[in-house]
Structure 1
Amino acid sequence: MTIGPQDVRHALEQCQAGRPDDAERLYRGFVAQGSFSVEAMAPLGELARSLGLGEEAAAWAGRAVRLLPGQAEGWVLRALTLIAGSLADAGLAAAQRALIIAPGSASALRAVALARLRQNRVADAESACGEALAAQPGYAEGLATLALVRMAQGRAAEADTLFRQATAGPVAPAEAFGNHAALLARLGQDDEALERAERAVALRPRLASAQYLIGTLHRRAGRHGEAAARFTTAVAADPRHREARLALLTLLAEAGRLQEAAALGDELQSLAADDAAIALQLGGLFLRHGRADLALPSLRRALRLAPGTAQGWTLFARALRGVRPSAADADLRAQLVAAFSKPGVDPADLTAAAAGLLAADPAAARLLEAAADADAVEALLCSGALTDLAGDALLHVVLTGAPIADLDLERLVTAWRRALLRVTANPSQPLDESSWGQPWLGLCARLARQAFLGEYVLAESGEEAAAVGRLDEAVRHRLTLGQPVPNHWIPLLGAYRPLGSLPPALMGHSWPEDVRALLALQVVEPQEEAQLAAELPALTPICDDVSVQVRAQYEENPYPRWAATGLREAPLGLSDILHGLFPRTWRPATAWTAPEVLIAGCGTGREAIWAARHIEGARVLAVDLSRRSLAYGLRQSRRLGIEGLSFAQADLLELDAIGRRFDLIHSVGVLHHTADALAGLRVLTGLLAPGGVMKLGFYSALARRPLQAVRAIAAERRLKASPDGIRRLRQDILALPAGHPARAVTTSPDFFSASGCRDLMLHVHERPTTLPWLEQALDGLGLSLLGFEFDDPAAHRLYRRRFPEDPDMASLARWTRLEEEEPALFGRLYQFWVTRRG
């Protein structure tokens, strides 16, 4: 028996009546029988399309238009399958062919409307819908398509009405229910959206978009098991549905099933090999879940596909934080060099990776091997074995970006600096009079930048000190007499001593670009800061004895000194930031459009600049004891073009006198340096506006126990917080056996700058605290914990595993128990957010 169109239409009626299983059994029977009339081809294609069998529908459509080119029904089907396959231009041509055969066909006009909508020709799509509905009033699919047009026009209420009309009849298209559900979900009407989406999949179980939407709605409601099942169904219905795959692997990652998520991610990337956005999403997802190893390949792929993506560079740098490759990788090298120049990247995040790649260079390996032998390093230098390395682009960017928090790189820099000084100012020969060209001049300038960023914390032998003295004397003598100074003398001297104390004639010379850039850093910028420091307003007096001592420390050693910081392109609302950090505990009491922000203890301004750039509409007041620190931050903010930020000198303990209230107060790493941390916290609480929040940071007494060994060494050897005392303390620590508790400080970035070392190991006043103390303090001040903030999500994962009964993760008692089990959990600093108790 030959299958005719009337047989197929009976199966279509089963599908339209909500019995897709019956319809599919009939369809499979037709296909198995294998005998069809030519006129049945288009209806068979429509049946396959209604069952969600897109590829089979396209095949039937191709046969229909080939065997019956004069039949409009086949061309309409052909148009719909092409449009569904994202071939809007070809779909439009097929629909127009149908109109030639059957002018005024409502189904053909509707296909034209869909194609034009895909082409973003919204007005043309609206016109075609109007013609379709004029030709067939009440045409359900025409009404549903016009609803899509209204959605594209932003007219959601009209779209809602049209979808309801399209689905009101006894025979309603599955897509209309599904698209209506998507609109309702967008409007926040989740319950009805779920009901409509379920109606869609009852008519067409393989409607992947509706299955995906159902999964999304379940996930939004916290029903993760149901969500995963629906995402799985969506992927089975349409293996190329990227959003469903991404949603499913996100659920897997959130459940801690990261290897399964990674496998699904590999499948997704094979389907979207040229899609940078998918690679970026995957990289960001794995990074949020603490798996930089899984994130990095996706992020590198995203940057290869779309190197102009700012977020990609930021995430790439974060994924490399602390990662030290052990083998050469030319592609990673190139990406690292590029990353150092991106405004959204913190150069400190890249130091470990750069150090690993540089150590893998044969010339660098030879230099490191010989580093302790001054004669051997000088011989390497003079032999030309280091010339290529001297011009290495990666070496140059890592030396200029931030203090190099890596012991191997420090050894390399120290050895190279010493060798360059030796060949210039060896006591046994006159000062080298040559005017070095590249790469040596550029290397000297970058070594000087690095030394300045680290505040000359590098070890220096007696021989070097004598040679530097001779070099300094020679430079001063020539400048005073107006005589020429060899170009390389200036950066070589700047690699050991700041250049700002040299005679003013220094700035009158015509120097090469590398030297001019160094002088801007070491001479011009400090002069600007000195002028700014004198002009800064003072909001409060500074009378407390401890505050006076702390101010003196930071006037001598502003902390931290930084050259660049990662800044996002677009700011976020403060409430959005809090919801991202604490989705379970943050309940906004107010909508901030222009939040007032206080940075209490801003130091050199990084957090203040971050707040002003990243918090939408923020008006930021940054205060600190130290004018020199404030001036550094003010200069950097002007360089970066930051608006809505003002700096002023003030004592946190006196801030209640300024008569202002703030929506956000940020005070991290400050209160434990005051005479009375509880009194300081009471002052800040009094400055908090209704509904406001505070981000606080206190040293953990438990995590900072290893510092006791460091301070014991400093006390025993009578080492003071002077430049020489800090250098000696560092070298004494580096000389200790590997297992000594004091060696733990060498893993801190603070160990690699003078101000960092002083802040870490020799602070004038420091009172670490405990979580029980914090719990009592917060309770007494009427503050509620929103949650702790960590750079590494592993801490939150550990808490969830240990205390699954507390999904809010806001119990200080439980965090106390966890820290007792894991003393290094907080990384020496508790960082957390609080708000007033409701």
Structure 2
Amino acid sequence: MRAAPEPFLLAQQLARAGRLAEARAAYARSVDAHPDFLPGYLALSGLAAHQGDDTTALAVLRAALARADGNAAARHAVRRPLAELLAALRPARFDAALEADLLTCLTDDQLDPQPLARVTAALLLHTQPASNHPLWRAFLTRCINTHPAMEACLVALRNSLLLSGDASAPLLPLLALQAFAGQYVWAAPAIAAEGALAALVHPPTELPGDPAWQPLADRVRELAAERELAPRIASFAPDADDLSGQIRRQYEEHPYPRWQAPPASRRTDLRQILERLPGIDRAALPQPPLRLLVAGCGTGYEALDLARMDSSLSVTAIDLSRASLAFARRKADALGIANIRFVRGDILALAALGERFHIATSTGVLHHMADPEAGLASIAGVLPPGGVIRLALYSHRARAPVRAAHALIAERGWQADADGIHAFRAHILALPAGDPLAVLRDSDDFYSLSGCRDLAFHVQERHYRFPEIGALVAGAGLRLVGFDPLPEAMARFGEKHGQHADPLDPALWDAVEAEHPFLFARMIPFWCQKPA
């Protein structure tokens, strides 16, 4: 590996000391003096983005891409931060440079394309749809649309094709793939569809042999492979109660989410991450090799991320849904991940596994249980003293629009089927921008049938305030050892309470969230430890 040049090392020292303006100037000198040293570009761009100067950050990454031409590994290293920058943009007009940036990211099959769906849609709305347009093709084949105006455009294109009856239209295979990827979440058309055109409105049973239909044929084959895998998934316990059965049936019908690109492969010693938690009892931490339980793994994204991150881990991932586990198993096999197994069963029956684990994660699961306290107790029961659990729960403040949606759904009598979801979405899409429920259009989950069901039609959902999280942890006989929020939330905490405030105090976090109610729009993530 090439040694870092002196200006780069100086910039790193300045950045660590908090002298960011000087660090940025030093990084710029490093890039000027050593234009082939890629880390200099990445560091300069990252610091500019941290300071809110996205224009400079983008320009630096574009220069880095030009320097890395012909080096696939280097170009991929640049595309990852480039994609993160692009995802936040909302272009008001066509921009050829942005088009090139988006295309280079969307054609990298190691990058998750979905975060780029909204910015790509916003740009494409300033162009004419065409099957031979590279960015339109990349968008329709790799992303699920998450832009309401683009949805209206795509639905109009679908209806136009159905009216014309033209089964040879070049856009048809691409539009059919987009409809399939969203699980036919668009409102059903009043126009009958036959032959190849029927793929626009329901899953195809037969497809033309034309190569243009191959991407959709591949997706259909993936579903068939998962149906073959599902019965072979081992099971350790039946559903614990009727609610577990209802939740299982929800995800059997539509595993969620059906992700495409895997997490970035980042090699990390998980125990080192645990040792950095502010309240952790390091002496009580289990020693490697570590056994990790993912309690409620869904389609496996987090479980596979952990297994790839630390190959010394032995990962057991459980879920109620065989269909979800089959999706995860197919992805694990494709990635060649050997240190993971998938088992069907109920969190409430973990003791039936007859195994012990050193670490457990349960992201977005307990808040869907009738008795979250019993679920946490079951997880804690299979950990030894010193074992660690990572949880993530819905925020009461951030989920206020979802609670309003639940009330609306109950009032209108909409069911959690395709007709009910279509009716709900039509109502939300028609709302003026200032309506409190219009914010649901900003959720990616709104744009697929399984996502919308999970967002607004879940059979059981509970929301938490920070003090309730503290009580949940204490009630299970555990110790809160760290919150794990996004950098923005950490910055808000520091701004309000100072750098020396106790990061384990739920009341301090509650005060921050009171001022920024959507700060934990995803979930509130935190760590707890079983006392030694």
Q: TM-score, normalised by structure 2?
A: 0.91
> Could you say which residue in structure 2 is the equivalent of 1:709?
404
Partner in structure 2 of residue 796 of structure 1: 490
Q: How many residues align?
A: 526
Q: SS at 1:643's partner residue?
A: coil
Aligned to 1:514, which of 212, 225, 234?
212
Q: Does 1:272 align with 2:39?
A: no
1:577-726 residue pairs with structure 2 within 5 A?
577-578=273-274, 582=276, 584-585=278-279, 588-589=282-283, 590=285, 593-726=288-421
Query: Is the Cα–Cα contact under 8 Å of residues 800 and 809 in structure 1 kept in the other structure?
Result: no
**Which residue of structure 1 aligns with residue 262 of structure 2?**
565
The whole-number CA distance in structure 2 between the counterparts of 1:586 and 1:635 is 36
Matched, 1:810 2:513: no
Q: Pick the aligned partner of 2:185 from 446, 457, 472.
A: 457
Secondary structure of 2:391's aligned partner: strand
Kept in 1: contact 2:110–2:261 (CA 8 A): no
Aligned to 2:161: 420
How far 1:833 sits from its partner (Å)? Answer: 2.0
Partner secondary structure for residue 597 of structure 1 = strand
2-structure distance, mates of 1:408, 1:731: 13
- Relative to 1, partners in 2 of residues 1:669 and 1:288: Cα closer, same or farther, differing over 3 Å? farther
| 1:728–1:531 CA distance, 2 compared to 1 (3 A) | same
The SS at the match of 1:806 is coil
1:343 CA displacement:
4.2
Q: Name the CA distance, whole Å, in 1 between partners of 2:83 and 2:527.
A: 26
The whole-number CA distance in structure 1 between the counterparts of 2:41 and 2:392 is 35
CA contact (8 A) 2:14 2:22 kept: no
- Structure 1 distance, partners of 2:287, 2:93, is 49
Instruction: Choose from 466, 476, 485 the match for 1:781.
Output: 476
Describe the shift of the 1:393–1:690 C-alpha distance in structure 2 as closer, same or farther (beyond 3 A). farther
Q: What SS does the aligned partner of 1:827 have?
A: coil
Larger radius of gyration: 1
Q: Given the alignment, which residue of 336, 360, 381 partners 2:102? A: 336
> How far off is 1:619 after superposition?
1.7
Q: Tell me the secondary structure at the aligned position of residue 293 of structure 2.
A: strand
| Correspondence for 1:303 | 65
CA distance 1:826–1:293, change in 2 (3 Å) = farther
Distance 2:289 2:78 in 1: 29
Cα root mean square deviation, aligned: 2.7
In structure 1, the gaps of 5 or more residues are 1-118, 121-208, 210-237, 364-385, 425-431, 476-488
Q: Which has the higher contact order (CA 8 A, sep 6+)?
A: 2
Match of 2:144 in 1: 403
> Secondary structure of 1:622's match?
strand
CA distance in 1, matches of 2:287, 2:77: 25
Distance 1:737 1:241, change over 3 A: closer
Which SS does the other structure have where 1:244 is aligned? Answer: helix
What is the alpha-carbon distance in structure 1 between the residues aligned to residue 56 and residue 364 of structure 2? 32
Distance 1:289 1:678 in 2: 42
Whole-angstrom distance in 1 between the partners of 2:66 and 2:529: 43
Q: Secondary structure at the match of 1:665?
A: strand
Residue number in structure 1 paired with 2:84: 318
* Richer in helix (by share): 1
Could you tell which deviates more after superposition, 815-824 or 672-681?
Answer: 815-824
Does residue 496 of the first structure (1) align with residue 224 of the second (2)?
Answer: no
* Equivalent residue number for residue 281 of structure 1: 43
Structure 1: distance between partners of 2:47 and 2:484: 18
Matching residue of 2:433: 738
Hey, what does 1:63 align to over in structure 2?
A: none
Distance 1:583 1:833, change over 3 A: closer
Q: % of aligned pairs identical? A: 35
Cα distance change on mapping 1:662 and 1:550 into 2, 3 Å? same
- Cα drift, residue 748 of structure 1: 0.7
Looking at structure 2, the residues matched to 532 and 273 of structure 1 have their Cα atoms a distance apart, in angstroms, of: 50
The 5 A counterparts of 1:100-115 are: none
For 1:324 and 1:245, the matched residues in 2 are separated by: 32
- Shift, 1:787, TM fit: 2.6
Whether contact under 8 Å (1:314, 1:344) holds in the other structure is no
Q: Which residue of 2 aligns with 1:556?
A: 253
1:285 Cα shift? 4.6
Distance, in Å, in 2 between the alignment partners of 1:814 and 1:828 is 19
Contact 1:599 1:623 (C-alpha < 8 Å) held by counterparts: yes
Report the Cα distance in structure 2 between the residues aligned to 1:587 and 1:291, rounded to whole angstroms: 40
Question: In structure 1, how many angstroms separate the alpha carbons of the residues matched to 2:17 and 2:124?
Answer: 39
Return 5+ residue gaps in structure 2 as ranges. none
